[in-house]
A and B are shown apart, each in its own frame.
Chain A
Amino acid sequence: MRNTLLLAAIIATVTITAAACKSDIGPGFTNDKVTLGLFVSTSGDIATFGQDTKNGAELAVEEINKAGGISKHLIDLRFQDCASEPAQGGNAATKLITQDGVLIGMGEVASGISLAAAPIFQKYGVPMISPSSTNPTVTQQGDMIFRICYLDDFQGAACALFANQNLNCKTAAILMNQDDAYSTGLGKFFRFKFEKLGGKIVAEETFKKGASDFNTQLTNIKGKNPDVIFAPVYYQDIPLIAKQARGQGIDKPLLGGDGWESDDLLPKADGKLDNCYFANHYATADDAPIVANFVKAYNAKYGSNPTSLAALGYDVVYVAKKAIESAGGINEKLTRKAVADALRGLKDFEGVTGTFSIDKNRDARKPIQMLKIKDGKVLPDRRIRPEEVE
């Protein structure tokens, strides 16, 4: 009898606790505060990406709170480190939802980690906005998952358009990292668009992750004499590629994607990247007031120029604010579903990384910024809108 009672008590406790965990995650705001969650990696391999994003997001929160918060509620930003591991991303999502009861979750940079977190946000019905995951499948995890950066297919196509129209290239070579889906993906989308525009890909060369010697590939490319070399690689690789290309007497421009962006890019290139171009989310040297103000405030707070990831981290907080306000502001009627509906209808949001809307796939439809490297400076070149490449 006593045993049965004990068992019943245990079952009851477990059921109640489980029920509490499952459904009662609170509304996400109190009388004077609104809780937002941020999950990026500030330790591990991609710690710099996460730290930049966090810096940008914290700057935005500081600005908003100084100006009175979101409909008179101050933002209470809760942070979880994903430690560059997808499994930690899942834990971070669960903690933010069940312990902190966030209204909206913002993160991650790496698509692999966003993919681990997204199903959890979807299950609890909490909107998640990724600032910078470019893999198409991230937002396919459910109708509560959003992103505010462009996708790799658009980036590759925009580079092809730029090569064709602005650099007047008829032929191109592609040099990519065969072990990296980002690199091969951009290469594929570039080829597709460049050929559609009437251009010819005369050489396609690959290298292995961690390679430092690109001479064999570059000699093959040189023999085909292309007008431009598209190299969708990361910033560690491109200075070596540029030096070795110039060393072999290849004087054609190199063209790349947002992987080139880094404070280290120009110091490492020793001037060999002059007259080369890459695509990015925004230009630090842009003179639009919203960009200039952001760059100034970021420099004052952190003492360095904001990267694209910092700019996207900054924008994602303002997107969350805009969505809450469009959903009717913070009052007892505000639900997470209403916030998600507002995100789905987001139009012409003006951010540091351009003016954008959320499309039917819950992805951002936004322009891409082409940049030119000239005399040791990165200068804004053409902006390409999505409709131009379609």
Chain B
Amino acid sequence: MLAVNELLQQVANGLAKGSVYALIAVGYTMVYGVLELINFAHGEVFMLGAYFGYWPARWLGYMPDSGEKPQVPAPVALLLTFGAMAACALIGVLVERLAYRPLRNAGRLSALITAIGISVLMQNLALVVFHADSKDFPRMIDQQSVVLGPVELPNTKLLIIGVTALMMAGLFWMVRYTRTGAAMRACSHSMKTASLMGVNVNRIISLTFAIGSAMAAVAGVLISLDQPRLTPLMGLMPGLKAFVAAVLGGIGSIPGAVAGGILLGVVESVVGGVAGTTYSEAVAFVLLILILLVRPSGLFGKSGREKV
């Protein structure tokens, strides 16, 4: 039987894991909220975020070909992260402009298939550009273990949890209390009405993609601090899990994505601790099915509103 300490430790592990899911899930849920599109290329944006943190660091000499890596100073690390966010935001906007906008009035299936196509395209482009062998990540933070009562966590994980909380608070404030946020909510309610009220719908959609992609970039950099192994296919599983998290929380709802992500991460970790890691994913997906059976629109989803 699990000791209480161990259980708490697994919950803490799961919080960090779930935070990353939440950061990615927010991008899924925002795009769905506005466009009713599952942007399957979102996991790849997460992957690109990690690589966009890696390459400039390499050019700046923080990734020597041999020997010990130097510590990246905090301001540089911050700049690298902002750079990755900007680059991913641009990619998100471009993907929307080039692939999804021409299909906005086509059927939902066409857009969905296009999203899957973009995902495969980005994976394979990354394979060509970055090569299949895994890359290490620069040392942006000196990893140390921190004792917090009964649990012991590396500082990288605490950073993941902290940054996620901060970003979620910021996003929540933006959506709730700014004019842009109000416009975003209006678009999500009815795009046609919003445009009649003078909202620039195209600008809001671009902004939605930009914010979601920047969040995924942060997730990519954060996860690489803790698990520094970059591969062109690293976005696949986290992307899928984040999608599940978004559905679990009620797709279209930002608090839902956060709750879904954290819940999924914690359940995976705790089940892995109790029953062994072989079962953790299976149990997590059974949980998803059970929750959707009871609440088909997810934990925070609004039911009954069906847009055509």
Interface string of A251-293 (1 = CB under 8 A from B): 0000000000001101110111000000000000000000000
Q: Does A236 contact B (CB under 8 A)?
A: yes
Chain B residue contacts of A240, Cβ below 8 A: 227-229
With A216-B268, A219-B273 already in contact, the answer to whether A247 and B136 are too (CB < 8 A) is no
Complexed CA–CA distance, A246 and B226 (Å)? 12
Interface string of A204-227 (1 = CB under 8 A from B): 011100101101110110110000
With A248-B145, A249-B145 already in contact, the answer to whether A207 and B13 are too (CB < 8 A) is no
From the candidates A178, A206, A216, A270, name the one contacting B143 in the complex (CB within 8 A). Answer: A270
Complexed CA–CA distance, A61 and B9 (Å)? 56
Structural contact, A205 and B68, CB atoms closer than 8 A: no
Complexed CA–CA distance, A219 and B14 (Å)? 11
Complexed CA–CA distance, A178 and B277 (Å)? 11
Structural contact, B145 and A246, CB atoms closer than 8 A: yes
Structural contact, B277 and A248, CB atoms closer than 8 A: no
Structural contact, A270 and B280, CB atoms closer than 8 A: no
With A267-B66, A270-B143 already in contact, the answer to whether A236 and B229 are too (CB < 8 A) is yes
Closest to A247 in B: B154
Q: Does A243 contact B (CB under 8 A)?
A: yes
Q: Does B153 contact A (CB under 8 A)?
A: yes
Q: Does A376 contact B (CB under 8 A)?
A: yes
From the candidates B69, B139, B280, name the one contacting A216 in the complex (CB within 8 A). Answer: B280
From the candidates B17, B136, B154, B277, name the one contacting A205 in the complex (CB within 8 A). Answer: B277
Q: Does A51 contact B (CB under 8 A)?
A: no
Q: Does A244 contact B (CB under 8 A)?
A: yes
A interface bracket (residues with beta carbon within 8 Å of B): 20 to 34
Complexed CA–CA distance, A248 and B268 (Å)? 18
Structural contact, B277 and A206, CB atoms closer than 8 A: yes
Chain B residue contacts of A219, Cβ below 8 A: 6, 9-10, 13, 269, 273
With A206-B277, A249-B147 already in contact, the answer to whether A216 and B66 are too (CB < 8 A) is no
| Tally of contact residues, B, Cβ under 8 A | 42
With A243-B143, A270-B139 already in contact, the answer to whether A215 and B13 are too (CB < 8 A) is yes
Chain B residue contacts of A217, Cβ below 8 A: 272, 277
Complexed CA–CA distance, A206 and B227 (Å)? 18
Chain B residue contacts of A178, Cβ below 8 A: 278
Q: How far is the CB of B205 from chain A (nearest CB, A)?
A: 33
Structural contact, B9 and A236, CB atoms closer than 8 A: no
From the candidates A210, A216, A223, name the one contacting B269 in the complex (CB within 8 A). Answer: A216
Complexed CA–CA distance, A263 and B10 (Å)? 33
Q: Does B67 contact A (CB under 8 A)?
A: yes
Complexed CA–CA distance, A212 and B154 (Å)? 15
With A217-B277, A220-B6, A267-B136 already in contact, the answer to whether A212 and B227 are too (CB < 8 A) is yes
With A205-B277, A213-B17, A240-B228 already in contact, the answer to whether A267 and B67 are too (CB < 8 A) is yes
Q: How far is the CB of B155 from chain A (nearest CB, A)?
A: 8
Q: How far is the CB of A230 from chain B (nearest CB, A)?
A: 17
Interface string of B3-31 (1 = CB under 8 A from A): 10110011001001100000000000000
Complexed CA–CA distance, A213 and B224 (Å)? 11
From the candidates B153, B228, B280, name the one contacting A247 in the complex (CB within 8 A). Answer: B153
From the candidates A205, A223, A247, name the one contacting B157 in the complex (CB within 8 A). Answer: A247
Chain B residue contacts of A220, Cβ below 8 A: 6, 272-273
Chain A to chain B contacts (Cβ below 8 Å), 10 pairs: A207-B277, A215-B17, A216-B10, A217-B272, A219-B269, A223-B2, A243-B154, A247-B153, A266-B68, A270-B68
Q: Can you add 7 more A-B contacts, CB < 8 Å, to A216-B13, A376-B68?
A: A178-B278, A213-B17, A213-B227, A216-B280, A243-B143, A249-B152, A270-B143
